[in-house]
Structure 1
Amino acid sequence: MDCLLLRFDAPLMSFGGVVVDQINPTWRFPGKSLLTGLLANALGWDHRDTGKLQALQDRLRFAARWDAEPEPLTDYQTVELGHEFLRGTGWTTRGRIEERAGDVENQIRQKGRYTHERWRDYWVNGVATVALALDGEGEPNLDALENALRVPARPLFIGRKPCLPAAPILVGRRHAQGVRAALAAEPLADIGPRKRPYPIPALWPLDEGTGASTEERFDARDWRNNIHVGAERYAVGILELVP
C-alpha cells in the first residue's frame, strides 16, 4: 500500500470533536473530516464540492501518532453585543447568527449588555505524524494529493484557521503493508527541547491490528448537509517503531 506521511507541527492545533452548545473540544488524534478538509484545501476545492469531498472522505484511511507531547489549552472567547453597532449581530455557525429568540433583546434591555461566550480547546506545541492512504480507485489519486500538499492551492491550517503549520506538512511517501506499518517505519520527528512521549501513543484502523483499547469517534462529515454523522471505532495503543 502506498502511503503519504504528513507532519503536523504548529503552535496550536485542533482536531475537532463533538460540540455541545459553546463548548468546542478537540479529539486526541486527527479525524477523517479534518484530513479531508486539509487535502481539499490543498487541491483548491471549496464547500460546494460536496460530491468530491464525500468521495475522498469515504476512501481515506489513516493512522496517527504523537512525536512531541502536546499540552492542552482552552481559549475563552467573548464578544460584547450590547453596543449599539452590534445589535442584531453575533457569531455565526453555518451562516446563521447564534442567538436565542426573545432572550437576546431581553438581556440587553435589562442589563444593557449581552455577551457571547465560547470555549475552544487546542493542543499546544505538539508534533503529530500521520500516515494516510486511499482505498479503492478514483480521483484524486495519491499522486494528486502528494502534488497538492507539496504546492497547495491555498494556505493550509490544522483544524482551525488560526492553527498555521510551522513547517511543510508533507514529509514524503512510503510503501508498507498498511498505514500503521508506514507510521511505525517513519522516524520520529526532530522536536528539539520539547517533551517526547514514551511510549509513543497512536491511533490506527481496527483492521490493521488491535491496540490497548478502542475509541469510538464521530469524525466523518456529511458534506452536503454540513453535519457530522455516524460512528467508527479505531484501535488506540502504543506504536512499536521499526528500528
Structure 2
Amino acid sequence: MSVLALRLAGPLQSWGAASRFTRRTTESAPTKSGVVGLLASAAGIDRDDETRLAPLAALRFGVRIDQPGTRIRDFQTAHHAVTEASMPLSERFYLADAVFVAAVEGDHALLTNLRDALRTPAYPPFLGRRSCPPTEPLCLDLYKGARLEDVLANVPWQASAWYRKRRQAPQNLVVLREIGAGESARNADVLRDQPVSFDAAHRRHALRTVISDPVPLPIAADGSSTDDHDPFDALAALEEESD
C-alpha cells in the first residue's frame, strides 16, 4: 500500500454532504466523495463510468485540518432558462481561507496514475464546487509503502504563512480518517459521503465510519512548519519603511 497526500487550499471551499437546492451547506472538512470526485476529474473519468470510479471510491481516505477557515454564507438568485421565472432564493455556505491535508491509501500503481493526473489534469480541479479553485498545486507527495495514519501525522503543517504569523501554533491538529483493517470502531462517527455513483441522474452515497484523532503538530526536519515564503512580505516591508 501507498499514500497520496494533497494540500487543499483556496480562497473558498465547500464540501457538501447533505444539501438541498435552496440550502447548500458545507462540512467543516473535505468529504471523501468530494476528493474522489476531484481525483476522477483530474484523471478524465466520466461521471457514469462506474468501472473506473470503483477503485477510487475503494481508496482509504483521511483528512487533517491544518487551518480551519471561516464559515461564510452567500445568497444566490436564479431564473428559469425558458420561462425566465424567478427561482427560489438559495443559501450557499463556504469555508474561507481554509487549508487541509487530504490523503488516500491504496494500490501504488493507481496512486501513481492519480498523482500524474493531478500534475496535468484532464479537467480543471476545484474544491467542492466549480466556483472554488485551488490556489496552489494540489499534490504534496506520494509515499510508497506508507500508512494513512503515519502520513497524516507527519506531513509538515501546511497552514498559510500569514495564518502562522498571526496565530499561536496549536499543540495538536485534528485528523478525520477511515478506520483501518482490524481497528475498533468504538467512539467513531458515520458520514454519508462514501461515493456509490456520481451519475447526475441518480447520485448515491453510502455511510462510512470515521475516527477523529488528535496528532501533535508536525514540523519539518529543519524545524520549520512549512515553506515560509509569503508573497505579501515585500508589501509588508514597504509599509514598515513608510511608517
So what's the TM-score if we normalise by structure 1? 0.77
The residue aligned with 2:48 is 48
Structure 1 residue 175: deviation in Å?
A: 3.9
SS for the counterpart of 1:236 is strand
SS for the counterpart of 2:64 is strand
Structure 1 residue 157: deviation in Å?
A: 0.6
SS for the counterpart of 2:127 is coil
On the 8 A contact 1:212/1:238 being kept in 2, the answer is no
Q: Of 80, 83, 86, which residue of structure 2 is paired with 1:88? A: 83
1:18 aligned onto 2:13 = no
Structure 1 residue 118: deviation in Å?
A: 1.3
On the 8 A contact 2:185/2:209 being kept in 1, the answer is no
On the 8 A contact 2:28/2:68 being kept in 1, the answer is no
On the 8 A contact 1:10/1:125 being kept in 2, the answer is yes
Structure 1 residue 177: deviation in Å?
A: 4.8
The residue aligned with 2:228 is none
Distance in structure 2 (CA, Å) of the matches to 1:217 and 1:207: 16
Question: Is there any run of 5+ residues in structure 1 with no aligned partner, and where?
Answer: 90-112
Structure 1 residue 31: deviation in Å?
A: 2.0
The residue aligned with 1:117 is 89
1:205 aligned onto 2:178 = yes
1:181 aligned onto 2:150 = yes
Structure 1 residue 12: deviation in Å?
A: 0.5
Distance in structure 1 (CA, Å) of the matches to 2:171 and 2:15: 22
Structure 1 residue 114: deviation in Å?
A: 3.8
SS for the counterpart of 1:125 is strand
The residue aligned with 1:60 is 59
Q: Of 216, 224, 231, which residue of structure 1 is paired with 2:190? A: 216
The amino acid that maps onto 1:17 is: A
1:154 aligned onto 2:123 = yes
On the 8 A contact 2:15/2:34 being kept in 1, the answer is yes
Distance in structure 1 (CA, Å) of the matches to 2:155 and 2:34: 22
On the 8 A contact 2:176/2:211 being kept in 1, the answer is yes
Distance in structure 1 (CA, Å) of the matches to 2:174 and 2:186: 10
The amino acid that maps onto 1:121 is: F
Distance in structure 2 (CA, Å) of the matches to 1:78 and 1:25: 16
SS for the counterpart of 1:161 is coil
The amino acid that maps onto 2:195 is: R
Structure 1 residue 198: deviation in Å?
A: 5.0
1:129 aligned onto 2:101 = yes
1:145 aligned onto 2:114 = yes
Change (3 A) 1:74 1:127: same
Distance in structure 2 (CA, Å) of the matches to 1:129 and 1:4: 10
On the 8 A contact 1:43/1:148 being kept in 2, the answer is yes
Alignment of 1:87-106 (within 5 A): 88=83
Cα deviations by residue, 1:113-164 (Å, 9 ceiling, x for unpaired): 74422111111001101121226x9xx7111111111221221111100110
Distance in structure 1 (CA, Å) of the matches to 2:3 and 2:170: 24
- Larger RCO (CA within 8 A; separation ≥ 6): 1
On the 8 A contact 2:196/2:206 being kept in 1, the answer is no
